[in-house]
């Protein structure tokens, strides 16, 4: 998607490099708001709650923006929850979805007032012994293969996430004994799901498994993973279609239960990915054998998605003049190992000093950045209503030394 109308002039005419340097992350706050409104409208046929999966982008300003829109917060660590509290989320609107964490972190989350999903029976037994009648959301593994890459497919049988269906009888026994109270059930089949049939298949499993707990169920969490398009011909999830389908299904479940049940989703990438842009400067153009390389002043230390997830991001060239001639390039970084952003990519002829703009860089980009090769992490900018707000400063050399013990 293009930059929102409120920020188009700012995005294309601001002297970003002289103000903040490159590389640089820029987020379109109005686009994030539009995505939230779009999803909320798609689910408007039923009482629903949108929990932002903040692992996608946990900058305080992004969190605050979504808190003010009425979002709730899905966190995978207590530290994410603490950031959420700082950004304005009330603790009862924060949901902790851990996997394999120490029980002490679960205890801290509960003590802070977060709701919690669990998918490990021994942990559930321990916590229930300490806190009889503990209200819980149970995460199940729906045994559904879905997602844009094997690393983000998390609902299949071999996944570490969720309880197997045949383990639910143990949860039923704990409920019957009064040890726990199952108030929610949860699935998440993966990320980047364009096939609505996969979403529907997982949802059907959730609805069926929730029936034995219908008296205590207060909400059903259908996860997230809705796909956004990365390039012009790419597909995205039919969010309006799946929203209509989910609302109808949960209404039918309510008829079965005899009481109201909230519809919960927990998108991350869907809300912030298309709002993000990653800008990097061309430092060298290098010809070797039959390949022409465009080198950038960055690498997977800043923008790991193309290397780790094989993500195909649209690339725009900001050059010194209009160039209509297309050439084939490999776009690479400056790290001490292979860090290829794109291979055999046709772009308008590139020159040293040009800026390459990677679209769809708002999710799992800065949040996965590092100081590998002792490179400094870039600044982050939020565009909101035609204004640029610095929301994270560029690192300086002293940031590399923080927490290191000084030499004697």
Q: Which domains does the chain have, with CATH numbers?
A: 97-267 (3.20.20.10), 273-401 (2.40.37.10)
Please tell me which residue in 54, 137, 257, 336 is annotated as part of the active site: 336
Please list, residue by residue across 71-86, b when 16 or more beta carbons sit within 10 angstroms of its beta carbon and e when fewer do.
bbbbbebbebbebbbe
Q: What is the mean pLDDT of each run of 10 residues along the chain (408 residues)?
A: 91 95 98 97 97 97 98 98 98 96 97 96 96 96 60 56 92 96 89 72 91 96 88 83 94 96 96 97 95 97 92 91 84 95 95 96 96 97 98 98 93
Residues paired with residue 95 on neighbouring β-strands, in sequence order: 74, 115
- What's the pLDDT score for residue 87? 98
- What's the pLDDT score for residue 234? 78
261 within 8 A of 218, measured Cβ to Cβ: yes
Q: Which residue has the tokens 């029976």?
A: 121
10 Å Cβ neighbour count for 104?
9
396 within 8 A of 21, measured Cβ to Cβ: no
381 within 8 A of 390, measured Cβ to Cβ: yes
- Say whether 257 is catalytic: no
340 within 8 A of 306, measured Cβ to Cβ: yes
Closest to 361 measured CA to CA, from 271, 280, 237, 274 = 274
10 Å Cβ neighbour count for 328?
12
309 within 8 A of 373, measured Cβ to Cβ: no
- What's the pLDDT score for residue 193? 60
Q: At what angle do helices 239-257 and 29-42 cross, to 10 degrees?
A: 40
- What's the pLDDT score for residue 190? 65
Give the N- to C-terminal CA distance of the chain in Å, as an integer.
54
Closest to 360 measured CA to CA, from 237, 239, 267, 275 = 275
DSSP 45: T
CA atoms in the 13 A half-sphere facing the CB of 78? 13
- What's the pLDDT score for residue 408? 86
Q: Cβ contacts of residue 63 below 8 Å, gap of 6+? A: 52, 54, 73, 83, 84, 86, 87, 88, 89
- What's the pLDDT score for residue 230? 83
What is the rounded distance in angstroms from the CA atom of residue 214 to the CA atom of residue 258?
Answer: 9
Kindly report whether the global pTM for this prediction surpasses the value 0.85.
Answer: yes
Residue 121 phi/psi, 5-degree rounding, is: -65, -45
- What's the pLDDT score for residue 281? 98
DSSP H or E run through 124: helix 121-130
What is the rounded distance in angstroms from the CA atom of residue 164 to the CA atom of residue 22?
Answer: 47
Residues paired with residue 377 on neighbouring β-strands, in sequence order: none
Write out 264-327 in H/E/C secondary structure.
Answer: EECCCHHHHHHHEEEEEEEEEEEEECCEEEEEECCCCCCCCHHHHCCCCCCEEEECCCCCCCEE
DSSP 165: G
Closest to 93 measured CA to CA, from 51, 130, 55 = 51
Question: What tokens appear for 66 in the block?
Answer: 């979504």
What are the helix (H) ranges across 131-195? 168-177
- What's the pLDDT score for residue 373? 97
- What's the pLDDT score for residue 194? 62
Closest to 364 measured CA to CA, from 276, 250, 288 = 276
Beta-strand ranges (E) seen in 39-93 are 48-53, 72-75
For 268, counting Cβ atoms within 10 Å of its Cβ (0-12 exposed, 13-18 middle, 19+ buried), the class is buried
3 within 8 A of 28, measured Cβ to Cβ: yes
Per DSSP bridges, beta strands 276-288 and 24-28 are: antiparallel
């Amino acid at each position: 998607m293009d930059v929102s109308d409120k920020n188009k002039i700012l995005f294309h005419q601001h002297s970003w490099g002289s103000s903040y340097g490159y590389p640089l992350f820029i987020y379109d706050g109005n686009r994030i708001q539009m995505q939230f409104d779009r999803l909320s409208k798609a689910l408007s046929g039923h009482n629903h709650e949108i929990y932002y999966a903040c692992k996608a982008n946990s900058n305080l300003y992004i969190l605050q923006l979504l808190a003010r829109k009425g979002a709730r917060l899905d966190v995978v660590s207590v530290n994410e929850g603490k950031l959420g509290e700082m950004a304005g989320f009330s603790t009862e609107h924060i949901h902790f979805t851990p996997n394999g964490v120490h029980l002490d972190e679960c205890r801290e989350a509960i003590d802070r007032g977060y709701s919690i999903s669990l998918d490990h029976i021994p942990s559930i037994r321990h916590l229930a012994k300490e806190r009889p009648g503990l209200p819980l959301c149970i995460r199940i593994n729906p045994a559904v293969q879905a997602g844009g890459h094997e690393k983000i497919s998390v609902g299949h049988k071999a996944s570490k996430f969720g309880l197997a269906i045949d383990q639910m009888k143990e949860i039923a026994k704990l409920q019957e004994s009064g040890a726990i109270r199952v108030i929610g059930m949860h699935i998440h089949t993966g990320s980047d799901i364009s096939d609505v049939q996969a979403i529907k298949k997982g949802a059907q499993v959730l609805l069926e498994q929730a029936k034995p707990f219908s008296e205590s169920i207060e909400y059903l969490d259908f996860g997230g993973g809705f796909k956004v398009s990365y390039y012009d011909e790419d597909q995205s999830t039919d969010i309006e279609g799946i929203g209509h389908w989910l609302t109808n299904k949960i209404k039918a479940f309510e008829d079965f239960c005899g009481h109201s049940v909230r519809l919960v989703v927990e998108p991350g990438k869907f809300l912030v990915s298309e709002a993000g842009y990653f800008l990097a400067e061309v430092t060298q153009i290098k010809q070797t054998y039959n390949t022409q390389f465009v080198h950038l002043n960055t690498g997977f230390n800043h923008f790991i998605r193309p290397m780790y997830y094989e993500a195909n991001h649209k690339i725009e060239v900001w050059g010194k003049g209009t160039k209509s001639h297309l050439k084939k390039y490999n776009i690479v970084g400056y790290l001490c190992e292979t860090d290829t952003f794109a291979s055999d990519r046709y772009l308008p002829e590139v020159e040293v000093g040009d800026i390459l703009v990677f679209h769809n860089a708002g999710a799992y980009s800065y949040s996965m950045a590092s100081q590998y090769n002792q490179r400094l992490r870039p600044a982050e900018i939020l565009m909101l209503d035609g204004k640029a707000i610095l929301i994270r400063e560029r690192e300086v050399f002293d940031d590399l030394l923080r927490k290191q013990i000084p030499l004697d």
